[in-house]
Structures are given as C-alpha cells and as structure tokens.
Amino acid sequence: MVSSFVFLPIRGVALPLLMGLGKPKTPAIASVAAGLLNLGLSVLLIRPFGLVGVAVGTAIPNVLFAACVLVVACRALDLTVTDYVKYVVPRAALGAVPIVAVLMSLKLGLHIQTLAGLVGAGTVMMLLFGITWIFFVYRQIRMWTCGRIWGACAHGARREGRRDDVRVRGHPGRMRHSGGVP
C-alpha cells in the first residue's frame, strides 16, 4: 500500500501520459512483467516470511514498474527525471493530503467494527477520491468545458444584439468587445 502511494505520481501521471502519446507498448509489457514478478516473488517469499514476504514481493515489482514507466515517460517528453519530479511530486503530495487525513482519522478516531461502518467509510473515501480527481486531474477539462459554455453564451448574446466582453482565444488576460449594441 505504501509503495503505491509513493509511486502514485509516476503511475498516475506518467502512465496515462504515455497512453495519451500513443505509446502503450512499453508500459503494457512492463505491467505484465511486474504482475508475473509479483506472483513469483510472493509465492517464493510467503513461506519464509509470511505476510511480510508477500508485501515485499508486491513492493519490489511496483518499484521496478514505476522506474521503467518514469524513464520511458521522461524520454518521450524529453525531460530529465529531476524536472519531472519537481513538477509532479508536489502536486501529487498536495492532492494526497486530504485522503491521508481522512484515512488517519478513520483509523485512529473511528473504531469501525460493523459492515455498515465499513460501507460508510468506503463511501466517504470514494467521494473524497472523486472530489480530489475533479480538482486535480480534470481541472483542465472543466476549464475547457466552462470556456465552451461561455463561448456559446457569448455567441448567443451577439445574435441577440447585446454587448458582452469575450476573452480572446489563446490570450487569457486579453478581452475584446463582442460587437453587439452598447
């Protein structure tokens, strides 16, 4: 679990980025290899180390997969790993703060012992993940959609002869007169 949080900035940003660039082959092969390595290491380490062995057998492939995806993404973007980390990690850490806070409060504050409590905690976490994704991941899509809606409203105002100020596309701070009646 901790290895997933640590490598989330890589798996959650670099992997979709590679998919968006049309380069899914290397991450797909690395994912299959990580899954097979996870299975092999877990089976190999469960007898001598028990559940700790399974955790280590899961963490090692996660680290290797993340390293592979990071290197491939940095090459595809022509970035250094340092530049990628400087840009992505602080944003991912900021997005993880509310989730970690709720997880800690659920663990330390509420002693959930019933199925209804577990379902409630799961629902709260799902809502929090959704809100976090809306504000951090879909931020640009939301802005683009609002811009399209605003553009449609401004176009309708021009047809009706009203004067509205409309943002010039590509210049976020520049305004222009829409040409309607003053």
The whole-number pLDDT of residue 122 equals: 83
CA distance 164 to 180: 7
Show the 3-state SS of the chain. Answer: CHHHHHCHHHHHHHHHHHHHCCCCHHHHHHHHHHHHHHHHHHHHHHHHHCHHHHHHHHHHHHHHHHHHHHHHHHHHHCCCHHHHHHHHHHHHHHHHHHHHHHHHHHHHCCCCCCHHHHHHHHHHHHHHHHHHHHHHCCHHHHHHHHHHHHHHHHHHHHHCCCCCEEECCCCCCCEEECCCCC
What is the pLDDT averaged over residues 139-145? Answer: 53
Does residue 130 surpass a pLDDT of 70?
Answer: yes
The whole-number pLDDT of residue 63 equals: 87
The whole-number pLDDT of residue 178 equals: 44
The whole-number pLDDT of residue 42 equals: 94
Q: Which residue has the higher pLDDT, 150 or 100?
A: 100
CA distance 156 to 106: 50
Mean residue pLDDT of the chain comes to 75
CA distance 111 to 17: 39
Which residues partner with 175 through β-bridges? 167
Q: Which residue has the higher pLDDT, 71 or 174?
A: 71
Q: Which residue has the higher pLDDT, 108 or 157?
A: 108
CA 53 to the chain's CA centroid:
29
What is the pLDDT averaged over residues 107-134? Answer: 81
Q: Mean pLDDT highest for which of 9-23, 52-66, 91-105, 130-144?
A: 52-66
The domain spans of the chain are 1-79, 92-137, 143-177
CA distance 65 to 44: 19
Percent of all residues in the chain with a pLDDT value above 90, rounded to a whole number: 20
CA distance 27 to 13: 13
Q: Which of 177, 131, 134 is nearest to 154 (CA)?
A: 177
Percent of all residues in the chain with a pLDDT value above 70, rounded to a whole number: 71
Q: Mean pLDDT highest for which of 36-50, 126-140, 158-172?
A: 36-50
Interacting residues of 83 by C-beta distance below 8 A, sequence separation 6+: none
CA distance 72 to 111: 43
Q: pLDDT digit string (tens) for 26-62?
A: 889 999 999 999 999 999 999 999 999 999 999 899 8
Which residues partner with 165 through β-bridges? 177
pLDDT band at 117 (very low <50, low <70, confident <90, very high): confident
